[in-house]
Structure 1
């Protein structure tokens, strides 16, 4: 993760009224020392030192362990929950979304990932001065359609709510908010292919523990897709529904598409024997 993405992340959420940030960073043995030092220095400059720094293998449970540590540190109340590459695009101020959820006794606010890619589908770099919108102007459903993964996210939750792996769902509560919050997912940037290849290798060897082979399968699927299409995501594939996207406005057909995806995922878990951890 590059320091510029952290800068953009803090700027984005401050624009939505967030004033307190709690960060945790995990570094594997592959993380370059210089990049790690730059990232920690940027965090200190922007919001102060991170709450937690951990090191070691990227076991599948590490993400949830770090998240839960931060939630305990945050204390009682509502929490906004986002990975560094996830930019929530709230259709109303967060406090209004929370008030609306509380009015119907719902302890969660939900969203769906909108995967953002470059205009030509290339896995490209970007510059802070250009901005994420200009660098990745298309949004679609890569995670859901191509990777056959869960793109739903719990974007806000009361402190008492349990969350599954990756904050993709709560075992106890389904979001009822409409529209669902677009979670602009800026994952498909320069460097992601080497990261995914490492996931396949390390999880496959058992060096990084996993609960299921899903992570390896998703990573291998994306790598194969990009290789098949000359180093690019196939933005012309109608199944992926790529369309112009910009922070601050709902994408075309967002309500219909996101609701259909969330309903499909909900039905899957209602009929699935998977443990609550998912």
Structure 2
């Protein structure tokens, strides 16, 4: 049986409660080695930065690097690659701090199956988690993520026209694109996709998105394409129309109750259908074909 993957993550200014839940989740999956870096944009207060770094130490995931400054589109990728180098050979699990992955089998079985099939990557599909009424709820340790954000749906690609695909496990030495969406030259098995529970839609995210749009548009933060800014703009337009909430009743988004403890019902077929049909948006209109 192969060794358990090393987890690699670049962490922004999330709530300590989310970091604690994230760490606990991956430890339950069997992760023992955490290679993390913290990056804080200039607007983040010193107290928040110090609190999160202290929380990391208390959780036993002391960061290998801490940086402050603009969050250019290339920032995450550069930090991630430094961490992957430190992680060494073998399988790497890639997860943002708001992404908690659920697999169809124990991690060691997943990587063993990939090795047997000649795959150097394992894929996943994002499932956006939101509060039951669509409000942007607070993340609190006493509530728990499944209770605070019980609904899972397809907000990212059906409303924001973003890429919902993720590379969740990758062999060392294999190149992964920005955002962990693709590994050029490698295709994951579409019949064995992890569910990437995406807990981005929390209290405070609208301010973050407005800041992202402003900083990328002004050139203060460097972007390679306008895709990230465009996705943020679509979410802001949506919440403006719905009183600051996400419309969880929209049938396109397919929100339903899910749990971190198991794959959603019918996930293998659902995820395979979405991943195999997904195409990038038209460069002129921003809409997928």
The TM-score, its normalising length taken from structure 2, stands at 0.91
Output one character per residue of 1:87-143: Cα deviation in whole Å (capped at 9) or x when no partner.
001111110000000001100110000000000000111311110000000000000
Q: 2:8 maps to which residue?
A: none
Query: Does 1:61 find its partner at 2:74?
Result: yes
For 1:120-269, list aligned pairs within 5 A: 120-176=133-189, 178-265=191-278, 268=280
* Aligned-residue offset at 1:26: 0.7
Q: Secondary structure at the match of 2:197?
A: strand
Secondary structure of 1:170's aligned partner: coil
How many angstroms apart in 2 are the aligned matches of 1:25 and 1:2? 13
> For residues 264 and 145 of structure 1, what CA distance do their matches in structure 2 show?
12
Q: Is 1:24 equivalent to 2:42 in the alignment? A: no
> Residue 8 of structure 1 is aligned with which of 11, 21, 29?
21
- The aligned runs of 1:90-101 (5 Å cut-off) are 90-101=103-114
> For the structure 1 residues 75 and 22, does the alpha-carbon distance in structure 2 shift closer, same or farther, using more than 3 Å as the test?
same
The answer to whether the 8 Å contact 1:123/1:190 transfers is: yes
Residues 19 and 247 of structure 1, relative CA distance in 2, 3 Å threshold: same
Q: Which runs of 5+ in 1 are unaligned?
A: 273-278
8 A Cα contact 2:38 2:67, kept in partner: yes
Question: Aligned Cα RMSD in Å?
Answer: 1.5
**Structure 1 or 2: more helix by fraction:** 1
2: distance between equivalents of 1:268 and 1:98? Answer: 28
1:50 and 2:63 correspond:
yes
User: What's the TM-score, normalizing by structure 1?
Assistant: 0.94
CA distance in 2, matches of 1:194, 1:41: 25
Q: How many residues align?
A: 270
- Structure 2: state its 5+ residue gaps: 1-13, 284-289
Match of 2:132 in 1: 119
Partners of 1:241 and 1:163 in 2: how far apart?
29
**Aligned with 2:24: secondary structure?**
helix
Question: 1:128 and 1:61, CA in 2 relative to 1: closer, same or farther beyond 3 A?
Answer: same
User: Does the CA-based 8 Å contact 1:243-1:252 persist in structure 2?
Assistant: no
SS in 1 for 2:59: helix
Q: Is the 8 A contact 2:84 2:92 kept in 1?
A: yes
- Residue 235 of structure 1 aligns to a residue whose secondary structure is coil
- Residues in 2 aligned to 1:90 and 1:176: alpha-carbon distance in whole angstroms: 13
SS in 1 for 2:118: coil
Contact 1:101 1:177 (8 Å CA) reproduced:
no
Tell me, in whole angstroms, the C-alpha distance in 2 between the residues paired with 1:89 and 1:18.
13
CA distance in 1 between partners of 2:202 and 2:106 (Å): 28
Could you list the per-position Cα deviations for residues 15-52 of structure 1 after superposition, in whole angstroms to 9, with x for gaps in the alignment?
Answer: 01101111111111111111110000010111242011
